[in-house]
Amino acid sequence: MKINKKILICVGTGGVGKTTIAAALGIQAAKEGQKVLVLTIDPSQRLAQALGIDKSQGIRKVDNQDFSGELYASVVHHQEMFDGLIKRAAVRYPGVIKLLENKLYKQLTTSLSGSQEFTSLEALYLAYQSNEYDLIVLDTPPSKHVLDFLKAPQKLIEILNKSVVEWLSDSHQSQVGLFKKILQQGTQMVLKILENLTGKEFISHLAQFFAHLGDWQGQLQERIINMQKLLFSENVQFIMITGPSIPHLAESQSLQREMQKNGATLKSIYVNKAFPSWYLKAKAQNWELKGLASELKSFFDGQDILLKKFEQEQSPEISIYRIPEIEFDIKDFESLKKFTQTTFIGSIKNV
Amino acid sequence: MESGELQKVHFVTGKGGVGKSTFAAALAYSEALKGKKVLLVELGDESFYQHFFLLSKIQFQPVEIKPNFFCAHWVGEQCLRDYLKHLIKSESLIKLFWENPVTKSLVHAAPGLSELSILGKITSGIRHHGPALDFDVIVVDAYATGHFQALLMAPEGLQATLKSGPIFEQGRSIKSVLQNPAITQFHILSLCEEFPLIEALDLEKFLIDYGAKNIQLWLNKVLPLDRDLQKEIYDYLHEKKQRQDNALKILDQKKVYILPWVLKNSVWDVLEGLFPALNSRGPNENK
């Protein structure tokens, strides 16, 4: 059993290189001797290839590694994760298996608010409980806001609220006691309006879905509560990945305030593609540039000022790294290792 | 809104990080400067434009950022509420409905209902169904690829499970608006990089299959690299040029519009820097 097991959760907006940096964090930890698992969500095909997880299912040890530690990786398959959870639950609660046949099952499990976040947390939870790894790095689903992720368990708990499940499954059954019926007058009205909106058929499928959840509901809810506890435990640290533009930085800042309010600890911020590799030299040696090159230099000078201001406004406990733009494609494990080196050696850290 | 002229709806999509929000804002702002009354709509749980325009909040009710240029942040739940208010009329009944503890869970749980409400709201003025929407142009900063497809498929997805009923009917009417090239235009953005490009082409195919007829592809952050490349940063510019050439090669015979990389650090300067490209929307035929 691992004693000092830790979790790093990478958050940030889409398109900033979150998954690649999650992989780099994993590689760096493996280099430093740890046994690491990187859990990715929807990695680009090349990154998946670079880690050797493009076709495999489940957790796989990455090939051709020469680290003092060990690197494992996996893609979280949303639908499979859900199916698996239900099949495991069906061992104790046989009725649950019928969920898989429900007409709305696929839609419900993919579009239910927080369901994508839920499966990544489920994957994290399973890996954490296995006690196999010193460190787990979790990439989060491409959401516009990290708060979606922090709030996901709470949202699901609300939806799976016992009264809702009971109410829906009851309203589906035709024989309801008179007393109960009177109590439900208000909720019947809700049902009526929803029926007007969506049609009888839809409500019937929905009610069936909640009816099949049945006895399992309590246990599922408990599991989600445990996930939430894990998410805010001291073993978890959040890493924010962002871009260097004004809106990106402003967004990160407000995000950080929200995270603090929610009790999540932010450990570091990685500003990806913060400057081109030539920029530091051009600045240090006072290059005299003309035309487009000069325009580019002034643009990055402006960005440098923005970043300095951003860094000064952060609390001193947070490390901020500016990662340079790389001039090669990440297409295999070697180039991913090269990117890791750039990230941890070539970047500028705030002082 | 001028009578006789149809309301125009623009959807902006593409891979995460390609510059959708900036493009949508520039498009909306440029239309407003031409004298149109414009609404820029953002979706998603949290507002991005409040940071972009440095406002304290952007919410459901449109706020005027510049003359004739409005911005609003819509989430499914509020769109549904707005629609119900229009449909039911009785304040007290609506209050009862929303204050019921079960309602919120149900609205969250009903798949596609949230997406459908958003699409319904966007197209409500055109369909004369739901509250009127008093704008000449609506620009939607839509979600990135996957989520965008889910948004557009919401009417269809529900139609697959439901063969009749109100949702079925509304879904059909919404889709016909989205397919109408005189009303709805889709903008797909990409950078000169392989993955955003592949996603852009997949998106184009998805939209064609969907029945959309007015689709424009945009290549963003393009630098003028036809002349001699400065020797100090030759490698950097050369690599950029290779990427740009490669992008045009991947797009092959397609009509593609070019957006410059605006080398400015302030938001309004960046938006204005995109105007020439937006206004001279003559397609840049691929060589």
Q: Nearest C-alpha of chain A: how many angstroms from B276?
A: 19
Q: Any chain A CB within 8 A of the CB of B101? A: yes
B223 contacts in A (CB within 8 Å)? 292
Q: What pLDDT score was predicted for residue A299?
A: 96
pLDDT at residue A32 tops 50: yes
**What mean pLDDT do residues B257-266 have?**
94
Q: What pLDDT score was predicted for residue A35?
A: 96
**What mean pLDDT do residues A13-32 have?**
89
Question: Measuring CA to CA, which residue among B232, B201, B194, B197 is closest to residue B215?
Answer: B201
Query: CB–CB of B44 and A295 under 8 A?
Result: no
Q: Nearest C-alpha of chain A: how many angstroms from B277?
A: 19
Q: Nearest C-alpha of chain A: how many angstroms from B181?
A: 28
Q: What is the DSSP letter of A71?
A: E
pLDDT at residue B104 tops 50: yes
Q: Any chain A CB within 8 A of the CB of B92? A: no
Query: CB–CB of B158 and A247 under 8 A?
Result: no
Q: Any chain A CB within 8 A of the CB of B162? A: yes
Q: Give chain A's length.
A: 351
At residue A321 the predicted structure's pLDDT band, cuts being 50, 70 and 90, is very high
Q: Nearest C-alpha of chain A: how many angstroms from B264?
A: 6
The CA-based angle A182-A188-A189, given to 5 degrees, is 120
A110 contacts in B (CB within 8 Å)? 111, 150
Q: What percent of chain A has pLDDT over 90?
A: 37
**What mean pLDDT do residues A13-38 have?**
91
Whole-number Å distance between alpha carbons of A202 and A213: 17
Choose, out of B87, B232, B243, B271, the residue to mutate when testing the contact with A (most A CBs < 10 Å).
Answer: B232
Q: Nearest C-alpha of chain B: how many angstroms from A294?
A: 10
User: Tokens at residue B23, please?
Assistant: 């493009």
Query: CB–CB of B84 and A14 under 8 A?
Result: no
The pLDDT tens digits of the residues spanning A105-119 come to: 877 777 666 677 888
Q: Any chain A CB within 8 A of the CB of B55? A: no
Longest dimension (CA), chain A: 87
Which stretches of B127-193 are assigned E, i.e. beta strand? 137-141, 184-190
B86 contacts in A (CB within 8 Å)? none
Instruction: Return all residues near A177 (Cβ < 8 A) that are at least 6 apart.
Output: none
How many beta-carbon contacts under 8 Å exist across A and B? 182
Q: Nearest C-alpha of chain A: how many angstroms from B208?
A: 23
Among the partner residues B51, B113, B230, nearest to A290 by beta-carbon distance = B230
Q: Nearest C-alpha of chain A: how many angstroms from B66?
A: 19
At residue B272 the predicted structure's pLDDT band, cuts being 50, 70 and 90, is very high
pLDDT at residue B108 tops 70: no
At residue A66 the predicted structure's pLDDT band, cuts being 50, 70 and 90, is very high
pLDDT at residue B164 tops 70: no
Choose, out of A45, A79, A111, A189, the residue to mutate when testing the contact with B (most B CBs < 10 Å).
Answer: A111
Q: Nearest C-alpha of chain B: how many angstroms from A136?
A: 25
Q: What pLDDT score was predicted for residue A178?
A: 45
Among the partner residues A14, A194, A200, nearest to B106 by beta-carbon distance = A194
A104-110: list long-range contacts, CB under 8 Å, 24+ apart: A104/A202, A104/A205, A104/A206, A104/A209, A104/B111, A104/B161, A105/A209, A106/A79, A107/B111, A107/B112, A107/B157, A107/B161, A108/A209, A108/B109, A108/B111, A109/A78, A109/A79, A109/A82, A110/A78, A110/A79, A110/B111, A110/B150
Query: CB–CB of A44 and B166 under 8 A?
Result: no
Query: CB–CB of B46 and A201 under 8 A?
Result: no
Count other Cβ atoms within 10 Å, centred on residue A214: 17
Which residue has tokens 């503890």? Answer: B101
pLDDT at residue B285 tops 60: no
- Contact between A113 and A155 under an 8 Å Cβ cutoff? The reply is yes
At residue A200 the predicted structure's pLDDT band, cuts being 50, 70 and 90, is confident
Q: Nearest C-alpha of chain A: how many angstroms from B187?
A: 18
pLDDT at residue A134 tops 90: yes
A303 contacts in B (CB within 8 Å)? 265
Choose, out of B85, B102, B147, B162, the residue to mutate when testing the contact with A (most A CBs < 10 Å).
Answer: B102
Q: What are the helix (H) ranges across chain A?
A: 18-31, 45-51, 78-92, 105-111, 115-129, 146-159, 162-172, 178-183, 185-198, 200-213, 216-231, 246-261, 279-284, 291-312, 333-341
- Chain A residue with Cα closest to B96: A186
Among the partner residues B17, B51, B105, nearest to A159 by beta-carbon distance = B105
**What mean pLDDT do residues B64-81 have?**
93
Q: What pLDDT score was predicted for residue B227?
A: 78
- ipTM surpasses cut 0.90: no
- Chain A residue with Cα closest to B102: A164
Q: What pLDDT score was predicted for residue B159?
A: 61
The pLDDT tens digits of the residues spanning B59-71 come to: 999 999 999 999 9
Q: Any chain A CB within 8 A of the CB of B16? A: yes
Chain A contacts in chain B segment 254-283 (CB below 8 A): 263-267
The pLDDT tens digits of the residues spanning B13-70 come to: 998 889 999 999 999 999 999 999 999 999 987 788 998 998 989 999 999 999 999 9
Q: Any chain A CB within 8 A of the CB of B252? A: no
Q: Nearest C-alpha of chain A: how many angstroms from B11?
A: 17
- Chain B residue with Cα closest to A192: B97
pLDDT at residue A179 tops 80: no
Identify which has the larger pLDDT, B47 or B96: B47
Query: CB–CB of A158 and B100 under 8 A?
Result: no
Choose, out of A166, A202, A208, A246, the residue to mutate when testing the contact with B (most B CBs < 10 Å).
Answer: A202
Whole-number Å distance between alpha carbons of B170 and A198: 10
Q: What are the helix (H) ranges across B162-212?
A: 166-179, 194-210
The pLDDT tens digits of the residues spanning A208-223 come to: 887 888 778 888 888 8
Orientation angle between helical segments B91-99 and B101-109, nearest 10 degrees? 80
Q: Any chain A CB within 8 A of the CB of B132? A: no
